[in-house]
Structure 1
Amino acid sequence: MKKTPLNRIHRELGARMVDFGGWEMPVQYTGVIDEHLATRSAAGLFDVSHMGEIEVRGAGALDYIQQLTVNDASRLVDGQVQYSAICYPHGGVVDDVTLYRFAADRFLFCVNAANTDKDFAWMQQVLDEGDFADVELRNLSDDYAQLALQGPKAEAILSRLTRCELPSIKYYHFAEGQVAGVPAIISRTGYTGEDGFELYFASEAAESIWEALMAAGEADGMKPCGLGARDTLRLEMKYALYGHEISAEISPLEAGLGWITKLDKPSFIGREALLRQKGEGIPRRLVGLVMTDPGIPRQDYPVYDGDEQVGVVTSGTMSPSLKVGIALALVRPECSSVGKELQIGIRSRKVGCRVAKTPFIKNRRS
């Protein structure tokens, strides 16, 4: 398995390590619920150095990205971040990504860890088969480490280690500065629904920055957090996870990502298939479910309307914030209205649930 630059520290902290997409990663330290609630109330520090970074440079960079992604990258200005997706011609998702604009001829994609090699190969294929002037792709994943500092006290903690004017960095914007004396990209983004930052910097600086952040956040109750809490936090916000809510078989329209899918763009890969899907009627929709009977929903559990199966759970957990079972599920459109009573098949029984308004909790980021 691949290891991040912080593997030694995770082991010294007693983290339980697991295989995640070919990476040895911490799933928890003190416990998923403890880490989840610390992030919601104070701050959590996550090692996300397994994520991939792919740079696009050249005069034709924007034209290339416009063809590659579903969102409209022409709306970006320098220092802005965009959530987007890359699709196959049939409308399924290659990956969901965040896109950073540094200049008109320089962009950086952050991609999902398990997809990095696949994404880079697809991006290179699109480049090779297209007519794009002076575009260069570089997989810089080995050069970067990445930490996510999330929670209502994240700004106060980070401010002790940087001279960067953090209040001036708006949501989904970034700045280049220093953290603990190390050059870094400081991005006001995250995967938790809380305010916070994602920090990119040279891999060899990972241990020193981790230790500086942990020391800076100790008095505020910040805790190291693993993949378990990262998953429950994103699920409470209805944030998609590749391989669950989106995949090569699930379109962005089915996954509720129509808001990033700009079908009015003249051309992008997958546009025709997505237009056709929208015109014919989206066959299934992603909804949030809250259990009305005791039970914890899990991925691949069937969803019923009476005796008929109408969908499947894509992600599920016991919500640490709400103390009730919650799930995301793909269901038939006629079963997607908020308040609709459904059932989830848990082992040999059908357990009651209800389509809920999402996100399950209020988004508390600034």
Structure 2
Amino acid sequence: MSDEPLRSPLDAVHTALGASFTDFAGWRMPVSYSSDLAEHAAVRTAAGLFDLSHMAEILVLGAESGAALDAALADKLSGLEQGRAKYTLLQAEDGGILDDLIVYRTGPDRFLVVANAGNRHVVAEALRDRIAPFDAIVEDETDDIALIALQGPLAEEILRNVEGFDVPALDGLRYYRSTPGDFRGHQVLVARTGYTGEDGFEFYLAPDAAPVLWEAILETGAGSGLIPAGLAARDTLRLEAGMPLYGHELDPATRREGTGRSARFVRDGRVLVGLEAAGRRAARAGYPVIHGGAVVGEVTSGALSPTLGHPVAMAFVDPAAAKPGTVLAVDVRGTELDATVVPLPFYRRPAASTPKES
């Protein structure tokens, strides 16, 4: 087996744009093109274009596909309307999280399960095992699907002006919904989903069509402030939006308690919270959280928030230290810096730019 990382169908496009690359979950992916801050700011104020072709796409098909997913995943999917999407979890028998997923119902007997790149085979194998008693099959389509995301307050305006991109149901496409589209003869699944905290779209299409769509979107949005954005900006955007990342906030030791908006993530008896601090020194993953001279938790993700201008972090802390307004401290390389527990997310987009969910 080759040790060479997998390459996106857009790899040559990224090289031509001068991208800096990183090895991410076995893929060579662009971490940035210009500056992390510029790419982050573009998504918050205009739009950014992301290559997410490293994500795994797994189809579940068959007359009992909905019931099969009910048995395989943490939430009920059989009642999901065609064209809608749902965030859910693949859990181990003890409740530990094996991956977090987005599931789209794209037909009466057809679901698209989108998994994290590093968990592609874990998810596919678990689904095959768990749906075996049902009239349904699993097909790993990852190698045959590219994924591009257009995110930001101007995303819809840009999409509407891409020459040759026809999305008949765009007017009624609300948050966490998907619809078929056509880009110059290529079928595209257009989903109003994303991982940035902004409005935006994700486009699932054949790999050979991805470079042409990428170039068409960039050309259309060039005068609006649209720029390509890499994994570094994606990470600070999702952190500001309070979105968990597998391998940081989520892993087999993490469990979800509750459902809906009241759900919370718990690890080793500690609960996931947001932390905000003053100054410019940001806590990073693994830094201890302290209260009353004792270690009461650990940071899972942290950064100096480009949008808010101060450090933010997510951390698992003891329940007694998890109440919003509690002042804790984070050990930043030997210096204890005050950090206050706050509700997640840290950033919410303006209500006027938030698409309705139903």
Smaller-chain TM-score bracket: over 0.9
Give the match for residue 28 of structure 1. 32
- 1:112 match: 116
- 2:69–2:131 contact (8 Å) kept in structure 1: no
**SS of residue matched to 1:74:** coil
2:175 maps to what in 1?
A: 171
Q: Secondary structure at the match of 2:284?
A: coil
Deviation at 1:144, TM superposition (A): 0.3
Task: Tell me what 2:284 maps to.
Answer: 298
Checking the alignment, whether the CA contact within 8 Å between 1:83 and 1:260 is kept in structure 2 is: no
- Counterpart residue number, 1:311: 297
- 1:294/1:218 Cα in 2 relative to 1: closer, same or farther (>3 Å)? closer
Say which SS state the counterpart of residue 193 (structure 2) adopts.
coil
Q: Which residue of 1 aligns with 2:270?
A: 284
Q: Normalising by structure 2, what TM-score?
A: 0.92
| Alignment partner of 1:340 is 2:326 | yes
Alpha-carbon distance in structure 1 between the residues aligned to 2:17 and 2:311? 30
> 2: CA distance between counterparts of 1:109 and 1:231?
22
Helix, strand or coil: the match of 1:251?
A: strand
1:213-232 → structure 2 map (5 Å cutoff):
213-232=217-236
Aligned residues: 345
Task: Find 2:190's aligned residue among 186, 209, 212.
Answer: 186
Partner residue of 1:323?
Answer: 309
Match of 2:157, as an amino acid? A
SS for the counterpart of 1:75 is coil
Report the residue type matching 2:118 in the other structure. Answer: A
Gaps of at least 5 residues in structure 1 are 263-273
Equivalent-residue separation in structure 2 for 1:200 and 1:355 (angstroms): 38
Q: Distance in 1 between matches of 2:279 and 2:226?
A: 34
CA deviations on 1:160-206 (whole Å, 9 max, x unpaired) are: 12332423101111110113442100000011111110000001111
Quote the Cα distance in structure 2 between the aligned partners of 1:96 and 1:85: 4
User: How far apart in 2 are the matches of 1:13 and 1:217?
Assistant: 16
Compute the RMSD of aligned alpha carbons: 1.9
% same residue: 39
Deviation at 1:350?
Answer: 1.1
Cα deviation per residue 1:229-281 (whole Å; 9 max; x = unaligned)? 0000000010010011111111123xxx732899xxxxxxxxxxx9xx99xx9
Counterpart pick for 2:8 among 4, 8, 13: 4
Maintained 8 Å contact 2:239/2:301: yes
Q: Deviations over 1:101-129 (max 9, x none)?
A: 1223111101111111121112122234x
Partner of 1:252: helix, strand, or coil? strand
Matching residue's letter, 1:16: S
Aligned residue identity for 2:259: G
- What is the Cα deviation at residue 282 of structure 1? 8.4
Structure 1 residues 50 and 240: CA distance shift in structure 2, 3 A: same
Instruction: Check whether the contact 2:32–2:233 (CA below 8 A) recurs between aligned residues.
Output: yes
Asked if the contact 2:280/2:304 (under 8 Å) is kept, the reply is no
Aligned AA (2:328): L
Following superposition, which runs of at least 4 residues in structure 1 exceed 3 angstroms of deviation? none
Structure 2's unaligned 5+ residue stretches are none
Shift of 1:68: 1.1
Distance 1:81 1:180 in 2: 26
Deviations 1:32-77 (A, max 9, x none): 1100000000000000011010000111111110011112213311
CA distance in structure 2 between the aligned counterparts of 1:292 and 1:38, rounded to whole angstroms = 24
Contact between 1:304 and 1:345, CA under 8 Å: does it hold in 2?
yes
- Identify which of structures 1 and 2 has the higher relative contact order when contacts are C-alpha pairs closer than 8 Å and 6+ apart: 1
Write the distance in 2 (CA, Å) between the matches of 1:363 and 1:150. 12
- Match of residue 43 from structure 1: 47
Residues 39-188 of structure 1 correspond to what in structure 2 (within 5 A)? 39-128=43-132, 131-132=133-134, 134-161=135-162, 162-164=165-167, 165-188=169-192
CA distance in 2, matches of 1:258, 1:21: 29
Distance 1:172 1:329 in 2: 27
Match of 1:265 in 2: none
CA distance in 2 between counterparts of 1:56 and 1:113 reads: 18
Matches of 1:181 and 1:44, distance apart in 2 = 25
- SS of structure 1 residue aligned to 2:130: helix
In 2: Cα distance, 1:344 partner to 1:260 partner: 27
> Within 1, Cα distance between the matches of 2:218 and 2:179?
22
| CA distances 1:129-180 after superposition (whole Å, capped 9, x unpaired) | xx21x21100000010000100010001011123324231011111101134
